[in-house]
Chain A
Amino acid sequence: EIVLTQSPTTMTASPGEKVTITCRASSSVSYMHWYQQKPGASPKPWIYETSKLASGVPDRFSGSGSGTSYSLTINNMEAEDAATYYCQQWNYPSIFTFGSGTKLEIK
């Protein structure tokens, strides 16, 4: 079973700041998906297949990575980006793993 470790667990960023959230896998994986969740709401697909933005996601977001290290980056943090972000991986045949989440707050 692949374990996903996110860092940091929580962070605070100022408007306009660049933010990077990391997700490390215990074994090499082919890609990573990311979800955004705000309090009281369902998770939303945010970045899929490592670097593709889901519909409606602002282009200040980007994703990258390979092997065991993946990241979600926000260029020019905005107040609406405050949320918890989860990475997620799929293993054959149909086993899914989530990271523990990164809570991003605005200063």
Chain B
Amino acid sequence: EVQLVESGGGLVQPGRSLKLSCAASGFTFSNYYMAWVRQAPKKGLEWVATISTSGSRTYYPDSVKGRFTISRDNAKSSLYLQMNSLKSEDTATYYCARLWERFDYWGQGVMVTVSS
């Protein structure tokens, strides 16, 4: 059974940093692109980052480019999202998702609140 379990969320002050983790199991992690998708409270879904199977290629929307970094450790079947210079508009539930032409599996999500 495919499982994606996020961790690392919490309350953080504006301008500070936070690192999210996603532990994957039930599939060969190194064979799949992975991504982070977020959802602000009562809002829609927003793609945040994608990483290739080896980690050599990463992609971001303009809203987080230069502030967020996606990475992976295939030996640990783990995905990460380093978030720097956090803003109030980054407040959201962050989902880890597996990519196979679409987001075919999602984690349960982890809440990040950016507030002073």
Contact (Cβ within 8 A) A95 B106: no
Complex CA distance for A43 and B33, rounded to whole angstroms: 18
Contact (Cβ within 8 A) B102 A94: no
Count A interface residues, CB 8 Å.
22
A86-107 to B contact mask, C-beta < 8 Å, 1/0? 1010100111111111000000
Interface residues on B, range: 20 to 34
Q: How far is the CB of B58 from chain A (nearest CB, A)?
A: 9
Interface of A is mostly: strand
Complex CA distance for A79 and B104, rounded to whole angstroms: 24
Contact (Cβ within 8 A) B44 A94: no
Contact (Cβ within 8 A) A94 B59: yes
Contact of B103 among A88, A99, A101 (CB under 8 A): A88
Complex CA distance for A42 and B33, rounded to whole angstroms: 19
Name A residues whose Cβ lies closer than 8 Å to a Cβ of B: 33, 35, 37, 42-45, 48-49, 54, 86, 88, 90, 93-101
Q: Could you pull out 5 A-B pairs where Cβ atoms are within 8 angstroms?
A: A37-B45, A43-B95, A86-B45, A94-B57, A95-B47
